[in-house]
Structure 1
Amino acid sequence: MKDPGVQHPILFLLLSVIYHVHQLLLLVRLSASALAHNLDPFKAANRFPSPPSSLFPSTTMADSGEAPAAVEHLNIKVTDNNNEVFFKIKRTTQLKKLMDAFCERQGKQPSTVRFLFDGTRVRPEDTPDTLEMADGDTLEVHQEQIGG
């Protein structure tokens, strides 16, 4: 008996094209969701850990010889008991966007979790600048506990 792929090469080709278009559409949806939250779509995919920051210089020297500019984006790790998700976010973006994106990704309601940075609760209106966060810092996510 012949291989079905040999008997029907056009069907095989069509299925291959459908599969690849489906994968592309998933990537586009993920990218659109990440961009809607002002996040880097490649970091939001969380396929691989962040590369060492030493590979990508974060400051540049202006042609006029001015001091290096401040890093505009930070890589932030968000962890809960079972997950680590990496986000790339602007220093001036409210952390609400990151918090909402993490909750959406994990299937949690934002009202049921608390985000902590260095043991202090993070408010949605906080930014990496207001919390004096550095590249590679971690936000911890804890389940809200109600009661006494």
Structure 2
Amino acid sequence: MTAENKQEEYIKLRVVGQDNSEVHFKVKMTTSMGKLKKSYAERQGVGVATLRFLFDGKRINDDETPKQLEMEDNDTIEVYQEQSEVTYFHCTIQ
């Protein structure tokens, strides 16, 4: 394997949060996005289930890879807080 081929196995990605903060990752083209999502969540101190990751407007699945998503060097992943629906019940017991 040449040095050029070895270098092409990796891709740099920007993960941008709702507050426009950026975290940069260098990952293999065959790395599952679940690993990147988990790493980002740990850095932010939140659970990965509380976040939604989008690339080109589509939600990213854990088992997808940059290669499958046709990502290129310096592409951006957007991260949003997951909206949770909470229903409150009020009852009076007499």
Give the TM-score band, short-chain normalised. 0.7 to 0.9
What is the distance in 1 between the residues matched to 2:36 and 2:73? 15
Letter in 2 for 1:88: K
Match of 1:101 among 25, 39, 49: 39
For residues 18-41 of structure 1, give each alpha carbon's deviation from its aligned partner in whole angstroms, at most 9, with x where no partner exists. xxxxxxxxxxxxxxxxxxxxxxxx
1:87 and 2:25 correspond: yes
**Mind listing any 5+ residue stretches in structure 1 that lack a counterpart?**
1-58, 61-68
1:116 and 2:54 correspond: yes
- The structure with the largest alpha-carbon Rg is 1
Name which structure has the greater RCO, CA cutoff 8 Å, separation 6+: 2
Aligned counterpart, 2:75: 137
Q: Normalization by structure 1: what TM-score?
A: 0.52
**Mind listing any 5+ residue stretches in structure 2 that lack a counterpart?**
86-94
What is the distance in 2 between the residues matched to 1:119 and 1:146? 20
Greater fraction strand: 2
- Provide the identity percentage: 44
Greater fraction helix: 1
Letter in 2 for 1:85: V
Aligned counterpart, 2:88: none
Secondary structure, aligned partner of 2:8: coil
Secondary structure, aligned partner of 1:111: helix
Letter in 2 for 1:72: E
Aligned counterpart, 2:89: none
Structure 1: 4+ residue segments shifted above 3 A: none
